[in-house]
Amino acid sequence: MNYFPTYLALGEAFCNRKEELKRISYNLKDNTPILLISPRRYGKTSLALKSFEQIKWPYAYIDLYKALSEEDIERFILQGIGQLLGKIESAPKKLLHLAGDFFASLQIKVVVEKAGIQLEFNQNKLAATDIILKSLEKLHDLAKKKEKRVILFLDEFQIVGEVTHHHAIEAAIREAAQKSSHIAYVFSGSNRHLMEQMFYDRKRPFYKLCDQIKLDRINSSEYEKYIQRAAQKKWNKKLAQKTLDIIFSLTELHPYYLNKLCSLLWQLEKLPTENESSMIWQQFVFENKSTVERELDLLSINQRKLLIFLATNKKTDELFSKKMTKIMNLTSSSVQRAIEPLLEKDYVFIDPNKFYRILDPLIKAVLSSESFSIK
Ligand SMILES: Nc1ncnc2c1ncn2[C@@H]1O[C@H](COP(=O)(O)OP(=O)(O)OP(=O)(O)O)[C@@H](O)[C@H]1O
Ligand SMILES: [Mg+2]
């Protein structure tokens, strides 16, 4: 099995997050909508799917990433509901009957195919917002009638705020979520900043609707158990403490990069040493250098200066002091102006000791390599 996926961590590839799982389970049972929030690639989607697997309620995973319009959002939600109907009713004839009934009043045609039911939208004349609200209400009534609790997981939900200029769809979903006793709502999105705008702004419909669960990195003692078990299985031996330490320090326990480095190490025939681990990471950094540089080209010169400073200095708590701004060759107010968007866009975070740190260990590694300079 793949212990270190670089896509979703499902089944046995999922490590820890016990507290978060407990809290999600509690909220699901308690009918409280949930918001999962974290910087990119910390494990929101994996966590949500793991919790559904545990609670064993039928769920629809609605990934809005590719939605470009209100109609797309409506379709993705309806297809998600279609998925759920398939989980509530598995006999094909009964499913066709159930789905046909369900979608008829929304003027949507249903055909059953091998992969499940397919919806035909072309006759649909109602506004997207109305269809969304109606279909959520109908789903609720159906679940209630069948005495089943179901879950709607709306991922990449920031898209809803991006493709619409009004908040009507948000208002419709809020209305449905607030009234619901049989559909549990889980929201997540990879753009933390846009998600926070939707959920923290008192003028927006989602203000104070959800229990908010913030994901942090997984701690090293949990990873240690997990990694050593995987090492035993692969090489019949445990990694040396120094090797573990270097893996943790290079990836800074960032879930994606930890998996990335370990997936490369687990391709080796022999148990990796500290040096090999370090070399493989350097190789990975080298291979990704130009992609990172291209991304950083989009930032302002001052933002880049600041990132380079953070990548190459250890003492990064008093960023605005004379001494620090002099090293950076910036004024205190330009540091202030540069740091805000970097925090907002998750390039930088403030750690518990109040140190400003680069969030992405790959970006940090590229910036601290000697060959990097501002063009
Ligand atoms: N609990 C976990 N145990 C082990 N690995 C994990 C865990 N959670 C996430 N990962 C790994 O971290 C990476 C990101 O996971 P996932 O896609 O779930 O995060 P995400 O926060 O939804 O990302 P995005 O912000 O891009 O949507 C993947 O490589 C995944 O395998
Ligand atoms: Mg995700």
Query: Which CATH fold would you assign to the domain 299-368?
Result: Arc Repressor Mutant, subunit A (1.10.10)
- Closest CA to ligand 1's atom 15: 43
Distance, CA of 21 to CA of 10 (rounded, Å): 14
Mutate to test the pocket of ligand 1, among 36, 46, 213, 256 (most ligand atoms within 8 A of CB): 46
Decide the pairing of beta strands 348-350 and 356-358.
Answer: antiparallel
Of all ligands present, the nearest one to the C-alpha of 39 is 1
**In this predicted model, what pLDDT tens digit does every residue of 261-308 receive, in sequence order?**
999 999 999 999 999 999 999 999 999 999 999 999 999 999 999 999
Strand partners, 150: 183
Which is higher by pLDDT, 96 or 232? 232
The number of the ligand 1 atom at minimal distance from the alpha carbon of 16 is: 1
Are 156 and 195 within 8 A, CB to CB? Answer: no
Residue 370 confidence (pLDDT): 65
Ligand nearest to the CA of 7: 1
Structure-token pair, residue 264: 């490369």
Among all ligands shown, which has an atom nearest to the Cα of 223?
1
- Write the DSSP string, 4-53: S-SS---GGG----HHHHHHHHHHHHHT--EEEE-STTSSHHHHHHHHHH
Q: Whose CA is nearest to atom 16 of ligand 1?
A: 43
Residue 122 pLDDT class (50, 70, 90 cuts): low
Closest C-alpha residue for ligand 1 atom 23: 41
Q: What is the pLDDT of residue 375?
A: 45
Average pLDDT rounded to a whole number, residues 69-78: 94
CA of residue 51 to ligand 2 center, whole Å: 14
Ligand 1 pocket (Cβ < 6 Å) reads 5-6, 8-9, 13-17, 38, 40-46, 190, 255-256, 259
Confidence of residue 369 (pLDDT cuts 50, 70, 90): confident
319-343 pLDDT, tens digit per residue, is 888 888 888 888 999 999 999 999 9
298 three-state secondary structure: coil
Q: Is the model more confident about 109 or about 13?
A: 13
- How far is 283 from 172, CA to CA, in rounded Å? 49
Q: Domain spans of the chain?
A: 17-214, 220-294, 299-368
Listing DSSP states for 248-292 in one string gives: HHHHTT-HHHHHHHHHHHTTSSS---HHHHHHHHHHHHHHHHHHH
CA angle 306, 307, 312 (to 5 degrees): 100
Burial-class residue 180 by CB neighbours within 10 Å (0-12, 13-18, 19+).
Answer: buried
Q: Relative to the CA of 259, which ligand 1 atom is closest?
A: 29
Burial (CB < 10 A; 0-12, 13-18, 19+), residue 297, is exposed
Between 94 and 172, name the one with better pLDDT. 172
CB 32 within 8 A of CB 211: yes
Q: Check pLDDT > 60 for residue 374.
A: no
Instruction: State the architecture of 17-214 in CATH terms.
Output: 3-Layer(aba) Sandwich (3.40)
Taking the C-alpha atoms of residue 31 and residue 3, their distance in angstroms, rounded to an integer, is 33
Most confident of 44-48, 117-121, 327-331: 44-48
Ligand nearest to the CA of 11: 1
Contact 373, 336 (CB under 8 A): no
Condensed to tens digits (0 to 9), the pLDDT of residues 142-178 reads 999 999 999 999 999 999 999 988 899 999 999 999 9
Report CA(155)–ligand 2 centroid distance (Å): 7
Q: Give the residues across from 356 on adjacent strands.
A: 350
**pLDDT number for residue 267:** 97
User: 89 vs 58, which has greater pLDDT?
Assistant: 58
For residue 47, the one-letter residue type is L
Q: How confident is the model at residue 372 (pLDDT cuts 50, 70, 90)?
A: low
Kindly give the distance from the C-alpha atom of residue 192 to the centroid of ligand 1, in angstroms, as a whole number: 15
> How remote is the C-alpha of 330 from its chain's centroid?
35
